[in-house]
Structure 1
Amino acid sequence: MNRRSVHIDSKTSPSNVICYYHGSINVSLLNPHICTHIIYTSIGIDRDGNIKFPYADEIQVLSELNFLEKMRKINENLKLLLSIGDNCEDQRRSFNLMLSSQSSRKNFAKNILGFCRKCNFDGIDINCQYPQKQQSGAFIDLIKKLKELINGPLSFEVSLPTEFEVFNFDENVDPQILSVTVNAHAFNAYDIKHISKKVKFINLIIFDMEMPSRELINLDHAVSIWLSNGANLNKLNIGVATYGCNDSKAIRSKANYAKFGGFGGVVIHSFDGDDCSVGFPLIRSAFEAFNEK
């Protein structure tokens, strides 16, 4: 297979600068003006698809969700997403058990959309970086269920943690965004064509912590395979890390790869890895790259 080459096009201007937030720095320090989307990761599920809080105190999580929701008053164009999936060992087991059961998938789809609506969030990111090939069909079934519920009236019963009674969200936003975060190299474990049809974004993760300069070579090869298997170029967001050996120059290079290559944008991991004391310089370098003429 021929590797995909990036064609420079000055008219191409992707709009997505999607920033993950893992909750390890105070939510009040976040800058809502250097991202188009913020993805919150500190919730989880059990094997039956019920929402739980595996990473932090429930009140802390709900306070962070409440604070993030109010960030729209600072930047009315900001979109907020909840990420859930296999992003740690404990949740990987629960996520895979949920996928293996049709009733659990249905329960999860209802609960996570109800959770988003209660929090006044705009959508869901399904994190599946450790896919099991034998569950590819179940993963597509989950994506289809989520898409069907997003397209229909959110009038179904949901099971939410009782702690939600403490907070009064406006509930005036119906979640409409569905994205997936995937391992760019694990293309054989995904039904790429069907995923691309159902979701708004595909966040491609490929990091080289020791030598970020090699990332573009590896990424170009992986992107070629995703495109040949049915992915839409403008739905692909390129993963960018704010840890390891990355610096502003390396991140700007990856942002320009996305900008001039016709991609949807970048997805940045994460606010937590950048330096909040000086205004998140790594994230800012990506954001500025997209806004340069």
Structure 2
Amino acid sequence: MFLWPVLFLSALGGAGLASPADEESEHRSRRELQPSRDLKIVCYYSNWAVYRPSLSKFTPQNINPYLCTHIIYAFAGFNKRYELKPYDPYNDIEQGNYKKFVGLKQYNPGLKTMVAVGGWNEGSKRFSHMVSDRSQRQKFVRSAMKFCREHGFDGLDMDWEYPAFREGGKPEDKQGYAQLIKELREAFEAEALPRGKERLLLSVAMPAGKEYIDNGFDVRTIAKAADFLNLLTYDYHTAYESNTQHHAPLGAADGLRDYDDESRLNVRWTVDYYLNAGAPRNKLVVGVPTYGRSYTLEDPEDNELEAPAQGPGEPGNATREKGYLAYYE
């Protein structure tokens, strides 16, 4: 689960914000939490949370529709013909989770519900091939518009992790991806204007690290085309490091010099880097994780930051992943 301004982004990956039994009363009690119109609280809902055990199972019906301004359903994929498809057809379509998700707007008409395409599991191979050719990009663009309209989503969140990296990635991905984002925005505008429809929104997930940014993302072009950028400002450190670390530090540790690599592993550095690269301040949505990375300590009595660690901590009962704990575990 994550919270992030333009100022917060939150991912609802399994939190018990409301139970189905009393969701109506919960919705009423939370209405005062609605943010001002200028604030973006962008939340990700991870669709695999429906498979968590017992009370940690989390469905679209558990989401408080007044908590966020935008909620993004993660993830959809796309096939070899560059057509968008549900990642989990059984739950997304057959069990009606897409409909339940966009149906949250019945409670909060001002809510925007979007769908994310990609994610870590999608990788780079298919993305890289798609963006390399205009005709292939256009197939994706047309499919994206059709997919969003058919399922009632208000927009698309592009989440390629990461252009020019991982299996199948190429240096040319940087230019191709920027062109895709530009073409998506142009198509969204062209599709909406003649019909008097509200334009589909477009957001892009952006990495925190310098190498990923420099080699894969034309920041100025993407920022101009997108409505907002979701900064992945977390997991600067992993649970597999030899010392305990904060995986989303706000600033650099005391004593670090600007040219030290470690000085770049914090939220402040990432935000400043995007601003200097030409991203408008009002389009940056900063990621704040509400999950933690856990460790198995060398010495249980030595439990401060940077304490020696043997490896990741034991899995939690809900998330069932070594080195990862939801906020409620």
TM-score, normalised with respect to structure 1: 0.68
Alpha-carbon distance change, 178 to 123 in structure 1, aligned in 2, over 3 angstroms? same
- Is contact 1:36–1:78 with CA below 8 Å preserved after alignment? yes
Secondary structure of residue in 2 paired with 1:143: helix
How much has 1:147 moved relative to structure 2? 0.9
User: Does 2:116 correspond to 1:89?
Assistant: no
Amino acid at match of 1:76: P
How much does 1:59 deviate? 3.9
The one-character-per-residue Cα deviations of 1:26-53 (angstroms, maximum 9, x if unpaired) are: 2211111111111011320023311223
Contact 1:98 1:105 in 2 (8 A): yes
| Kept in 2: contact 1:44–1:91 (CA 8 A) | no
Q: Give the 3 Å change call, closer, same or farther, for CA 129–46 of structure 1 in structure 2.
A: same
Q: CA deviation at 1:64?
A: 0.9
The letter of the residue matching 2:203 is S
AA matched with 1:214: P
Matched, 1:38 2:64: no
Detail structure 1 runs of 4+ shifted over 4 Å in the superposition. 172-175
**Which of 187, 203, 218 in structure 1 is aligned with 2:213?**
187
Residue 19 in 1 paired to residue 46 in 2? no
> Using a 3 Å threshold, how does the CA distance of structure 1 residues 64 and 175 change in structure 2: closer, same or farther?
farther
Overall identity of the aligned pairs, in %: 28
Question: Is the contact between residue 102 and residue 152 of structure 2 (CA under 8 Å) also seen in structure 1?
Answer: yes
> Which amino acid is the alignment partner of residue 205 of structure 1?
L
CA distance in 2, matches of 1:223, 1:118: 35
Render the CA deviation track for 1:121-157: whole Å, top value 9, x for unaligned.
Answer: 11111012312142111111111211111111369xx
Alignment of 1:234-245 (within 5 A): 234-245=282-293
Structure 2: which 5+ residue stretches go unaligned?
A: 1-35, 50-57, 165-170, 239-244, 253-265, 295-317, 320-325
Which is worse superposed, 186-195 or 204-213? 204-213
Instruction: Give the TM-score normalised by the residue count of structure 2.
Output: 0.61
Matched, 1:102 2:140: no
Partner residue of 2:189 out of 151, 167, 188: 151
Task: Give aligned pairs, total.
Answer: 223
Larger relative contact order, structure 1 or 2 (CA cutoff 8 Å, min sep 6):
1
CA RMSD in angstroms, aligned pairs only: 2.9
Greater displacement, 216-225 / 63-72: 216-225
Q: Mapping of 1:1-293 within 5 angstroms?
A: 15-23=39-47, 24=49, 25-54=58-87, 56=88, 58-62=89-93, 63-85=96-118, 87-132=119-164, 133-153=171-191, 174-185=198-209, 186-188=212-214, 189-208=216-235, 210-212=245-247, 214-217=249-252, 218-245=266-293
Counterpart code for 1:232:
P
Secondary structure in structure 2 of the residue aligned to 1:142: helix
| 1:161-187: CA deviation from partner (whole Å, max 9, x where unpaired) | xxxxxxxxxxx9644211100102222
Once residues 251 and 40 of structure 2 are traced to their aligned partners in structure 1, the CA distance between those partners, rounded to angstroms, is: 19
Looking at structure 1, the residues matched to 65 and 163 of structure 2 have their Cα atoms a distance apart, in angstroms, of 31
Q: Could you say what secondary structure the match of 1:241 adopts?
A: coil
Amino acid aligned to 2:180: L
Question: Does the residue aligned with 1:38 lie in a helix, a strand or coil?
Answer: strand
Q: Give deviations 1:219-275, integer Å, cap 9, x for gaps.
A: 2112222111111011000012221159xxxxxxxxxxxxxxxxxxxxxxxxx97xx
Given the superposition, is the C-alpha separation of residues 27 and 229 from structure 1 closer, same or farther in structure 2, using an over 3 Å criterion? same
Contact kept in structure 2, 1:201 and 1:235, CA below 8 Å: yes
Contact 1:117/1:173, CA 8 A, preserved across alignment: no
Give the whole-Å Cα distance in 2 for the aligned partners of 1:13 and 1:122: 17
Unaligned runs of 5+ in 1: 1-11, 156-171, 247-271, 274-279, 283-293
Task: Considering fraction of residues, name the structure with more helix.
Answer: 1
Amino acid at match of 1:75: N
What does residue 289 of structure 1 align with?
none
